[in-house]
């Protein structure tokens, strides 16, 4: 006898949990099914060597909305931040690290231009933040609510003032390389700023649409408010655990170690799921937090969809280019030009935009970059519990590593590691000698470990054609799949990934507002 639920959520990633929690808060009986043994999806703490732990995928919070922490009472359920408002420094092999919040050593023109430029971009980021906090309206505009949402959006754009509006429309589709070149001269500063615009995606600074992805990043930071860039005590898994506890407290049933094999349908409506062990569970609706292709092509199956939809789903781009490096170190490394405060924050190795572009170029041909660009965090400085006493963990995002490592993946991995260490040694001489343990997750490893299609952090590229109204697919009823009763709540939906839970919460709202709400 199977129990009947109002909703089954597939995948206990943070978006799945956020969606489940909002549904439960509205009085719905919700079951969350997770294939792995722990909740969190890609937001987990991972033990990569005896005594050494690290945040498995994303390692810092930069976009977690304050509203989510408050609405869900995450602090009450154990969420503690080991560090808040962490600074970002761009490393230089031959001089002091550049603090992005207050760069020193700029020429007079840059010194004068940087502040106003940053402020203007943050203003535009605020507008994008409004998009992130909104469920995209349907383009058909047949319903008054949708027309009103579009009008409000237009009004907000207009209220920025005529010149700001014109400027946003001018730069919105540009690449970040040209935009930064137009405004600043300092190569290390531009390299660091461009790094954020290219992080996680399949683009170098000269790729079109990178101003949008930068604004997306700035928008997320605004949502995070005063906490800014922060680190979760106990690693990202502690955040997911708190979210899981909040769910359980609200009556959500979470079952781990239960892989969904199929989404079941009856009379052209989703009616439940079949697990890998053959067990069938019924529910009024099914909500999938897993990727678009996996949900629609594997769990549901192309024959249940129309050809045009299948075509668009198959063309949804999800090619991650970020690898994750985890090092267990016998002692704290010394980075040239980085003081104690800088080491506790985020360190970037992206000395110029050309460096970044050159790190990107080989990925287009499934090759390894000679000089990868890195984002480094040493989480044990803020949270010593992640390593044995006196030892440290270094966690780094490595750009740009192709999903397909070519004909000889083992050789490519060895070469990649060698290239990463040669870059690290340049900025932290002697670091190699401190390494006790080393783990490298390439995008294909990330896909396998965390179930992220293509190893892409957002479950799919963030670019104009896959953003807002076009996410996940153009002419698609956002969050509602083409099959009645099947919904989507993962990062493949607007507004995409980053640990912010908005896709899950928007999905829950759409479900509760729909005419067929359970």
The residue ranges that bind another protein (CB under 8 A) are 268, 297, 301-311, 314, 482, 484
Query: Smallest distance, Å, CB 482 to another protein?
Result: 7
Query: Smallest distance, Å, CB 314 to another protein?
Result: 7
**Which CB atom, from 212 or from 305, has the smaller least distance to another protein?**
305
Query: Smallest distance, Å, CB 151 to another protein?
Result: 23
**Which CB atom, from 15 or from 304, has the smaller least distance to another protein?**
304
167 touches 120 (CB < 8 A): yes
**Which CB atom, from 99 or from 297, has the smaller least distance to another protein?**
297
Query: Smallest distance, Å, CB 149 to another protein?
Result: 23
Question: Which helix (H) or strand (E) segment is 97 a member of?
Answer: strand 95-99
Query: Smallest distance, Å, CB 43 to another protein?
Result: 32
Helix, strand and coil percent figures for the chain, each rounded to 5: 40, 20, 40
For residue 18, give the nearest of 240, 226, 194, 198 by alpha carbon: 240
Q: Is 414 strand, coil or helix?
A: helix
Six token digits for residue 389: 């006493």
**Which CB atom, from 257 or from 301, has the smaller least distance to another protein?**
301
**Which CB atom, from 74 or from 264, has the smaller least distance to another protein?**
264
CA angle (262, 267, 271) in 5-degree steps: 40
Cα–Cα distance for residue pair 358/464, rounded to 1 Å: 23
**Which CB atom, from 182 or from 306, has the smaller least distance to another protein?**
306
Beta pairing class for 346-349 and 30-33:
unpaired
192 touches 307 (CB < 8 A): no
For residue 473, give the nearest of 497, 447, 456, 494 by alpha carbon: 494
**Which CB atom, from 189 or from 285, has the smaller least distance to another protein?**
285
Within 10 Å of residue 82's Cβ, how many Cβ atoms?
21
351 touches 186 (CB < 8 A): no
Query: Smallest distance, Å, CB 140 to another protein?
Result: 11
Query: Smallest distance, Å, CB 306 to another protein?
Result: 4
Cα–Cα distance for residue pair 242/266, rounded to 1 Å: 36
């Amino acid at each position: 006898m199977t129990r009947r639920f109002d909703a089954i959520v597939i995948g206990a990633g943070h978006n799945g949990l956020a969606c489940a929690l909002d549904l439960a808060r509205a009085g719905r009986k919700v079951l969350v099914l997770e294939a792995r043994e722990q909740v969190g999806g890609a937001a987990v703490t991972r033990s990569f060597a005896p005594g050494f732990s690290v945040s498995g995928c994303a390692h810092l919070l930069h976009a977690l909305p304050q509203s989510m922490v408050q609405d869900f009472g995450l602090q009450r359920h154990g969420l503690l931040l080991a560090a808040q408002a962490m600074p970002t420094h761009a490393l230089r092999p031959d001089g002091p690290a550049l603090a992005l919040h207050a760069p020193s050593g700029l020429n007079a023109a840059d010194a004068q231009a940087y502040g106003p430029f940053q402020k203007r971009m943050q203003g535009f980021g605020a507008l994008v933040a409004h998009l992130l906090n909104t469920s995209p309206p349907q383009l058909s505009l047949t319903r008054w609510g949708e027309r009103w949402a579009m009008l409000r959006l237009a009004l907000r754009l207009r209220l920025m003032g005529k010149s700001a509006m014109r400027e946003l429309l001018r730069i919105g589709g540009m690449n970040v390389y040209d935009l930064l070149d137009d405004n600043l001269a300092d190569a290390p500063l531009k390299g660091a700023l461009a790094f954020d615009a290219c992080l996680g995606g399949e683009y170098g600074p000269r790729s079109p649409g990178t101003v949008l992805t930068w604004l997306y990043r700035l928008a997320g930071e605004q949502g995070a408010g005063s906490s800014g860039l922060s680190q979760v005590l106990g690693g990202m898994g502690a955040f997911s655990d708190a979210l899981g506890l909040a769910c359980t407290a609200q009556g959500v049933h979470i079952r781990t170690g239960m892989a969904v094999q199929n989404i079941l349908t009856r009379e052209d409506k989703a009616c439940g799921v079949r697990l890998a062990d053959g067990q069938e569970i019924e529910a009024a609706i099914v909500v999938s937090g897993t990727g678009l292709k996996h949900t629609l092509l594997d769990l549901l199956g192309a024959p249940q969809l129309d050809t045009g939809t299948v075509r668009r789903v198959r063309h949804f781009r999800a090619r991650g280019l970020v690898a994750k490096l985890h090092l267990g170190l016998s002692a704290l490394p010394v980075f040239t030009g980085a003081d104690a405060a800088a080491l506790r924050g985020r360190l970037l190795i992206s000395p110029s935009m050309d460096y970044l572009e050159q790190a990107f170029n080989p990925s287009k041909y499934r090759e390894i970059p000679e000089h990868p660009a890195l984002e480094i965090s040493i989480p044990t400085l803020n949270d010593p519990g992640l390593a044995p006493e006196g030892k440290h963990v270094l966690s780094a995002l490595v750009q740009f590593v192709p999903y397909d490592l070519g004909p000889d993946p083992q050789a490519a991995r060895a070469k990649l590691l060698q290239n990463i260490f040669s870059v690290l040694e340049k900025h932290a001489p002697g670091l190699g000698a401190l390494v006790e343990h080393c783990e490298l997750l390439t995008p294909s490893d990330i896909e396998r470990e965390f179930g992220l299609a293509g190893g892409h952090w957002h479950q799919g590229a963030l670019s104009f054609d896959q953003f807002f109204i076009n996410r996940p697919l153009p002419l698609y009823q956002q969050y509602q799949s083409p099959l009645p009763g099947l919904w989507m709540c993962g990062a493949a939906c607007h507004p995409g990934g980053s640990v912010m839970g908005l896709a899950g919460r928007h999905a829950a709202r759409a479900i509760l507002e729909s005419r067929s709400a359970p």
